[in-house]
Structure formats: C-alpha cells, structure tokens
C-alpha cells in the first residue's frame, strides 16, 4: 500500500480550523493508500516570535514531500506584504508552481448569488498565472518623505511565463467544454496586455478546435455574474486571476466553497493545495468557518497524486452533505460549526 508524505502548513486564523477538518476527511476517505502528515507551524505567530514566517531553509525542508497542504497565511499584527512574501509567494515560486487552478462550480444544496442558475450553467475553471505578472519585486520608493516622493511597481510578463500558462489553459479546455476566455486589459495597459494578447493568439492557433474569446477583465467580471453559462476555462494574469477567483467564488455562494491548486505540471517538485480564501480574521477562533473549500483542495491534491477514486469519493461526500443541508455553516445560511460540517463530510467519505 502506498504512503504519501504530505506537509501541512495550517497557518493563521481559520486556516488551522479548516485544515484540521480536511485532514480528517482525507484520512477517512483514503482507500488503498495512507497519508503521512507532517505539520509545520509556520505562521504570523511564529513571525512575531522569531522574526521570520518560516526558516531560511523552509523551501528545502518541503522539497522532499509529495505535496504541500496549506491553510491560510496572514493575520492582523503582521503586515500582509510581510507575511505573504515571507511564506506563500516564495513557496509558489520555489517549486515552479506556475499554474494556479481554481475550479468554480455550483455545488448541490448551495444557493448561487445568481438565483435560478443550475450546476451545468455554472462550471468554470480559472487558470491563473502564478509566478510573475503584476506580482513582482521590481520597483521601489523614490525620494521617501519628500514632496516629490513616488513609488514604482513593475509588472513582468515573460514569453516563457505567458506561453506556458496559456497553453495549460488550452490543454485543460480540451478536457472540458473546449472554450477558453482570456482576461485582458489591453485598452488600459499598453505594454503588458497587448503582449499577453499576442501570445494568446499564437497559442490559440495551435488549438483550432478550441473556441476562444478575449475580454477586458472589467467586462469579464460582469460576464461572470451575468452569463456564467457562456464561460468554461478563463485564463488570466496573476492579479486578474486573483480578483476574478474571489468574484467567481462569491457567485457560487461564497468564499468558503472555492478550492485552489498551485500546480507544477512537470511534477519536478511538490505542488501546493489551499483554499481560495484567506485566514478570515473576522471569524477566526469562533469555530464557524466553512471547511468545504479546504476539503475540496484536499480532493484536488489527491487527484494530482493520481488517487482519482478517493478524490471523487470526497467530492461526492461534500456534495451529499451540502445537499442534505442539515449541517451548513453560517455562511451557507445554517448554524453548524466547522467540525459539525467536517464530521458530516468525513462520515460520508468513510462510508463509501
Ligand atoms: P478572507 O478570504 O480571509 O476573508 C474575506 C471574507 O470571507 C471574510 O468576511 C471572511 O469571514 C469570509 N470567509 C473566508 N473564508 C471563509 C470560510 N471558509 N467560511 C466562512 N467565511 C469565510 O480575505 P481577507 O479578509 O482579505 O484576508 C484576511 C487575511 O488572509 C489577510 O492577511 C490576507 O492577506 C490573507 N489571505 C491569505 C490567503 C492564503 O494564504 N492563501 C488568501 C487570501 C488572503
Ligand atoms: C490568493 C491570495 C494571495 C494572492 C495573497 C494572500 C498574496 O489572495 O491566493 O488568492 O493574491 O495570490
Ligand atoms: Mn486571492
């Protein structure tokens, strides 16, 4: 029987609660394999104690694992650019996790913000560039403290980076509804986005059987709300993919439902799985966070590792528990705790 070695980083806030539930569900569901979890307590708390979010050799410590399972990072008391650039963003880069997959589905038993939509009308996949673009360290503050003070923040769009993420989106679309929509903003950003569009056109020519669209990201935001049925795979730069994924999660019924996979498609290092949401300081410590997003991120992790049957069983357990509707957390209109919804899913996963 194979054993997967998984590193967990529960992190901050509700990251700890939802990771605990997801670990329980994955253990309950595992068929024909076992998972050996190793926990790392890297967090804002650790930063306040030691001055670092993770040790200097943090990435090296994780390199030997089959995958990384991350809760959420960031908490009031440590500036977000310190906590996130001290852990999440460097890990995405250390392991070549240039694809960020963010499925957007209407799950049974949950109500879309767009009432009347059915699951087949609301099934999208956001393919977010995850290693460059608007998230760059190039820039700086000039003339600090003077009246002519200014700040520069550069974007980086490389040919390799654009080609590989756009190609990945086309490959995914080939396994779905064969449609790719590219998020652009070439009307406002005169260098980066026309370049992105040019690479998109080049790659599109390699996939004549895939239907393509290019939409300015603002109009695309409206399209996600007004006509999600027209969308299948959405490919976007790092920042556009980030913003669209919270919007799309909200359209399906909330941030507590949306999983995310940071993928190294070549499998030359461990991929990392997390929810789309953050550490939710406003509900941290209350035991009411919705664990579904983190549990579905766990199913994505097992899918990535090749455990298709167990991943499907977890997906079904989530859908069944939501459809039954007896243990919904407050964000879904219920009054259940994180653990109660986690239990309902774990029991169903174990019974399959
Ligand atoms: P957030 O996603 O943490 O919360 C936004 C809103 O959604 C809040 O009202 C919250 O209560 C709600 N929410 C989120 N997840 C939920 C869940 N599982 N169940 C029920 N409600 C949920 O976004 P934010 O407030 O902008 O960020 C808080 C912190 O998290 C910041 O430090 C931010 O940088 C960090 N963050 C981390 C990650 C990550 O580690 N992957 C992702 C996003 C934000
Ligand atoms: C996400 C988060 C991160 C991002 C932040 C916390 C840096 O919002 O994973 O969606 O923007 O990549
Ligand atoms: Mn985000």
- Pocket test residue of 13, 75, 79, 88 for ligand 2, highest count of atoms within 8 A of CB: 88
- Decide: 82 and 47 in contact? Cβ < 8 Å: yes
Clarify whether residues 212 and 266 are in a common domain: no
In this structure, which residue's CA is closest to atom 5 in ligand 1?
Answer: 280
Q: Indicate whether 302 and 275 sit together in one domain.
A: yes
* Cα–Cα separations (whole angstroms), residue 292 to 20, 33, 116, 327: 12, 22, 22, 12
Q: What is the largest CA-CA distance in the chain?
A: 67
Per the structure, how many domains does the chain have?
2
Please name which of 244, 213, 237, 89 lies closest in space to residue 165, comparing C-alpha atoms. Answer: 237
Residue to mutate (ligand 1; options 74, 86, 92, 345; most atoms within 8 A of CB) = 74
Which amino acids bring their CB within 6 angstroms of ligand 2?
74, 84, 88-89, 242, 276, 278
Buried b (16+ CB within 10 A) or exposed e, 60-70: eebeebbbbbb
The pLDDT score that the predictor gives to residue 291 is 98
State the pairing for strand pair 2-11/33-39.
parallel
Confidence of residue 65 (pLDDT cuts 50, 70, 90): very high
Distance 57 CA to ligand 2 centre (A): 22
33 and 18 inside one domain: yes
In a domain, 106, yes or no: no
Query: Is residue 130 domain-shared with residue 166, that is, in the same domain?
Result: yes
Helix runs in the chain, H state only = 14-29, 44-50, 58-62, 80-85, 88-94, 159-174, 192-205, 217-226, 238-252, 292-304, 308-324, 338-351
Does a structural domain hold residue 160?
yes
**Which domain range does residue 43 map to?**
1-97+255-352
Average of per-residue pLDDT across 62-83 = 97
pLDDT-based confidence at residue 116 (cuts at 50, 70, 90): confident
**Which residue, by CA, sits nearest to atom 5 of ligand 2?**
84
Is residue 73 within 8 A of residue 43, CB to CB? The reply is: yes
The answer to whether residue 107 is domain-embedded is no
Is residue 27 domain-shared with residue 126, that is, in the same domain?
no
Does a structural domain hold residue 200?
A: yes
Q: Could you report the per-residue pLDDT of 2-49, keeping only the tens digit for each?
A: 999 999 999 999 999 999 999 999 999 999 999 999 999 999 999 999
124 and 244: one domain?
A: yes
All residues with CB under 5 Å from ion ligand 3: 242
Q: Are residues 63 and 130 in the same domain?
A: no
Going from the Cα of 258 to the center of ligand 1, the distance in angstroms, rounded, reads 12
Q: Which among 255, 298, 329 is the best mutation to test ligand 1's pocket, defined by most ligand atoms within 8 Å of the CB?
A: 255
Residue 167 lies in a domain: yes
- How many CB atoms are located within 10 Å of the residue 204 CB? 17
Where does a domain end: 212, 229, 252?
Answer: 252
Given 252, 282, 307, which residue is the final one in a domain?
Answer: 252
* Residues 122 and 176 reside in one and the same domain: yes
Identify the residue whose C-alpha is closest to ligand 2 atom 11.
242
The Cα–Cα gap between 350 and 30 comes to 8
Q: Which residue among 200, 226, 252 closes a domain?
A: 252
Give the separation between CA 110 and CA 120, rounded to whole angstroms.
14
Q: What is the pLDDT, as a whole number, of residue 1?
A: 84
- Cβ–ligand 1 distance for 279 under 6 Å, the answer yes
Average pLDDT score, the chain: 97
Same domain, 313 and 235: no
């Amino acid at each position: 029987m194979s054993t997967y070695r998984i590193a967990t980083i529960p992190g901050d806030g509700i990251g700890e609660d939802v990771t605990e539930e997801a670990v329980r569900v994955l253990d309950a569901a595992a068929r024909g394999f076992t998972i050996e979890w190793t926990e790392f307590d890297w967090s804002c708390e650790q930063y306040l104690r030691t001055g670092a979010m993770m040790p200097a050799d943090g990435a090296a410590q994780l390199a030997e694992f089959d995958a990384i399972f991350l809760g959420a990072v960031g908490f009031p008391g440590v500036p977000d650019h310190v906590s996130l650039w001290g852990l999440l963003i460097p890990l995405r880069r250390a392991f070549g996790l240039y694809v960020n997959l963010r499925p957007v589905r209407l799950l049974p038993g949950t109500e879309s913000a767009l009432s009347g939509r059915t699951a087949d009308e609301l099934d999208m996949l956001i393919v977010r560039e995850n290693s460059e673009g608007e998230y760059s360290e190039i820039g700086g503050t000039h003339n600090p403290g003077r009246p002519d003070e200014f700040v520069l923040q550069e974007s980086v769009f490389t040919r390799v980076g654009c080609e590989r993420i756009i190609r990945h989106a086309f490959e995914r679309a080939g396994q779905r509804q064969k449609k790719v929509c590219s998020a652009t903003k070439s009307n406002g950003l005169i260098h980066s986005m026309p370049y992105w569009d040019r690479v998109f056109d080049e790659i599109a020519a390699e996939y004549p059987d895939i239907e393509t669209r290019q939409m300015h990201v603002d109009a695309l935001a409206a399209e996600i709300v007004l006509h999600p049925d027209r969308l299948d795979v959405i490919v976007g730069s790092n920042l556009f993919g980030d913003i669209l994924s919270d919007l799309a999660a909200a359209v399906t019924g909330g941030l507590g439902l949306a999983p995310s996979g940071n993928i190294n498609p070549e499998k030359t290092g461990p991929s990392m799985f997390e929810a789309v949401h953050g550490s939710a300081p406003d509900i941290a410590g209350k035991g009411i966070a919705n664990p579904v997003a983190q549990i579905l991120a766990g199913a994505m992790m097992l899918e990535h590792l090749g455990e298709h049957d167990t991943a499907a069983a977890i997906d079904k357990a989530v859908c069944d528990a939501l459809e039954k509707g007896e243990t919904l957390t407050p964000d879904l209109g219920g009054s259940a705790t994180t653990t109660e919804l986690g239990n309902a899913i774990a029991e169903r996963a174990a019974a399959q």
